[in-house]
Amino acid sequence: MHRHPSPAAPAQAHSASSDSERPASKRPALSLIAALLPLVLAACATKTAPLASNDEARAAAQQTVKAVEAAASAVAPSKTQVAAASGAPVAKLDVLLEDNLNPGEKVDLDAPQAHVDLWARMRAGMAMPDLDNDLVRKAEDWYSTRPDYVARMTGRGSLYLYHVVEEVEKRNMPMELALLPFVESAFRNDAQSTAKAVGMWQFMPATGRDFDLKQNLFRDDRRDVLASTKAALDYLQRLSKMFNGDWQLALAAYNWGPGNVGKAVARNQKAGLPIDYDNLRIPDETRYYLPKLQAVKNILMRPQAYGLALPAVANHPYFLSVNIDRDMDVARAAQLAELDEDTFRQFNPSMNKPVILAASSGQILLPYDNASTFVANLERHRGPLASWTAWVVPKTMKPGDAAKQVGMSETGLREINRIPARMLVTKGSTLLVPRSASRDQDVSEHLADHASIAFAPDVPPMRRVTLKAGKGDTVASVARRYRLGTTQLAQWNKVSTKATFKPGQQVIAYVREGQTLAAVEPAGKSTPASAKSAKNAKVTRVASSSTNKAVKNAPKTRSAKVATGGGGNTVATKTALR
């Protein structure tokens, strides 16, 4: 990553520095080199003689981190010294360069800590007991025989790892948890499982909502790097407390669900068996879950032992957050940041639509250098920032009619809003539409957070009709007689599918305009005697409902003469609806 140059010091301050002060300013650098030299030599020795165990790797990493921190504290100026030295007003762009996770603190890419390999910092924080079984070795073999996959996975992870590590350390949690996205999603924030789990932490929809991850028409925070990381660690802390600090059970619950793990623990307790991870009866996927995490940990601790190399990851933020106060097209934001759109979306994957809503998001994430570029270009930009806005559908409409009303093609409206074929857009749905003179306002916070879209089948208008039940009629018999669905007829009449109607009770049904509603003659009942008796049969009306406003001007419904036998069973109908 290219380093953004620091703002130039005021000329007067530079000229005021005497020659006698310059040699002194070099001493901290010499002190730092002297402190770091043994660590460099030790690292070289490690490459030629790989460490034999994770414990050795952890001890070496802890020694490296402590030495660097000591050297950094010896040479770093205090905050008061920095404040005194910067007599000039802080540049506007410089205000931007703050750590997302440590508000108010500047990101200093020249700080000694920034040059520590982040992998060493992670090795030093490992705290969970190691697993050693055949499943671990199986996972190790899988990863070690796929170096290209490991390279892609760790390359993606290097963009986000610093922020994950910072959050894990702040909470004093085992550093193994920072490796979990490698197992869950290979650090892909666009990952989606067949079970609808999404993002690099693989949140299910309900669990995501439980941890305040917004999921609506415009955004899905399960894909958001910062929001999903916070939610995942909150969830893991909850699971740890639930299982009395047993991180292995907490991780099993993260994969299988806390209720399932709780039941497995209760079964073992009832049977007098151990309740640790190795002794629980759990599905194969969950049984293999921790061994995969252990294999990733082993590779991180001793990559040379597996014939793998890890990319260097600097110990400072790779990206920064930039506040926005206007709606902005994704394409426009990428252009202002001088990034291609795919790269921009790597850092802002939660955006579901081609527009970023200021009322909902409030910020975007950008690589360090591009953050400053974005702010500078935004200051110079003239013209609209967004070409899209939200429109609430005033009534249930066909997509073609909605498209005409907002001034775009039906195909375009369907594509951008993902409207399925043969569907209507229901009243109150929110659609993304082009901005116009009458629709040029930024989307409100309420709409940005609660926008939704719903569809209804595009079918011919339905007419409500009523039938009169005979003696002994059930939902099933009426449905069979008129070729209606039993479940549907039960829903229309708000009864169960096994319900029996009272003689003469009105039975509600719905038919399409022009659909024929004719009773089916029961098998074995068609005889001359029954036909003769039908002449003197009682008449049952099949009438349309006057309350159906959708068919106010529809043709009148004819009466259907229904012949009934002595037992009241319907046997035939002479006319039908039109």
pLDDT at position 418? 95
pLDDT at 83 over 60: no
pLDDT at 568: 37
Q: Which stretch, 6-20, 31-45, 549-563, has highest mean pLDDT?
A: 31-45
Q: Is residue 64 helix, strand or coil?
A: helix
The band of 421, judged by pLDDT with boundaries at 50, 70 and 90, is very high
Q: What is the pLDDT of residue 461?
A: 78
Q: What would the pLDDT profile of 211-248 be if each residue is shown by its tens digit?
A: 999 999 999 999 999 999 999 999 999 999 999 999 99
Mean pLDDT computed over 65-72? 67
Output 125 or 58, whichever has higher pLDDT.
125
In the chain the domains, ranked by start, together with CATH numbers, are 80-107+318-385 (no CATH), 115-306 (1.10.530.10), 388-457 (no CATH), 462-512 (3.10.350.10)
* Letter string b/e over residues 564-574, b meaning 16 or more CB atoms within 10 A of that residue's CB: beeeebbbbbe
Classify residue 452 by its DSSP letter. -
CA distances to 205, 216, 431 from 455, in Å: 20, 15, 12
How large is the average pLDDT for residues 72-79? 53
Alpha-carbon distances of 505 from 41, 475, 490, 560, rounded to whole Å: 94, 12, 14, 16
Q: How confident is the model at residue 382 (pLDDT cuts 50, 70, 90)?
A: very high
Q: What Cα–Cα distance (Å) separates residue 37 from each residue in 30, 40, 237, 315, 407?
A: 11, 5, 39, 19, 68
pLDDT greater than 90 at residue 163: yes
Nearest alpha carbon to residue 45 among 56, 32, 34: 56
pLDDT of res. 316:
85
**What is the C-alpha end-to-end distance of the chain, expressed in Å?**
73
pTM of the model: 0.71
Distance CA 177, CA 450 (A): 33
Mean pLDDT of 146-173: 95
184 belongs to the catalytic site: yes
Q: Which two tokens stand for residue 63?
A: 């020694």
Picking from 229, 168, 163, the residue whose alpha carbon sits closest to that of residue 199 is 229
1: pLDDT strictly greater than 50? no
DSSP state of 419: P
Looking at residues 159-176, what average pLDDT do you find?
96
What three-state secondary structure class fits 392? strand
- What pLDDT is stored for residue 361 in this prediction? 81
pLDDT at 550: 41
What rounded mean pLDDT belongs to the chain? 80
Contact 88, 10 (CB under 8 A): yes
Q: Which conformational region is residue 249 in: left (phi greater than 0), alpha (psi within -120 to 50 degrees), or beta?
A: alpha
Choose between 541 and 368: higher pLDDT.
368
Task: Give yes or no for residue 19 having a pLDDT over 70.
Answer: no
**Which pLDDT score, from 0 to 100, does residue 209 have?**
96
* CA distance linking residue 570 with residue 426, whole number of Å: 40
Which has the minimum average pLDDT: 12-16, 150-154, 357-361, 479-483? Answer: 12-16
Residue type, 100: N
Burial class (CB in 10 A: 0-12, 13-18, 19+), 111: middle
pLDDT for 570: 35
- Say how far residue 400 (Cα) sits from the centre of its chain: 31
Q: What is the DSSP string of 265-319?
A: HHHHHHHT---SGGGS---HHHHHHHHHHHHHHHHHH-GGGGT--PPP-BSS-SE
CB atoms within 10 A of CB 102: 12
CA distances from 313 to 125, 183, 533, 559 (A): 16, 19, 92, 81
- Identify the three-state secondary structure at position 104: strand
Give residue 519's pLDDT.
77
Q: For a pLDDT cut of 70, what percent of the chain falls above it?
A: 72
Among residues 184, 341, 445, 521, which one is catalytic? 184
Percent of the chain residues topping a pLDDT of 90: 61
* pLDDT on residue 269: 96
Which two structure tokens, joined as six digits, stand for 411? 């195909």
